Amino acid sequence: MKENMVLYMTSASDAFRMFSKHKKGFLTFKEFEQLVHKLCAYSQEKMSRPNYPVLKDMFDAVDIGKDGLIDFKEWTSTF
């Protein structure tokens, strides 16, 4: 995922900023889902969009604070 962010969105930090709709310094699950789906669309590989359980597991892995939001610190420590 990080490789695709660098290829198609310049960097993981830029991807975060692009999809943090409210510019409050965090991503909601919906924003994270949109980011992953956009990466799948950009990818040259035949890749299906992850289903809800896979997306939720990915989101939960990045959401270190388990508050239902991914903040910039969690994002950068993951990617």
2-78: CATH number:
1.10.238.10
Per-residue pLDDT for the chain (79 aa), expressed as one digit of tens each?
777 777 777 888 888 988 898 778 899 999 999 999 988 888 777 667 889 999 999 999 999 999 999 999 999 999 8
Quote the pTM value: 0.83
SS (H, E, C) the chain: CHHHHHHHHCCHHHHHHHHCCCCCCEECHHHHHHHHHHHHHHCCCCCCCCCHHHHHHHHHHHCCCCCCCEEHHHHHHHC
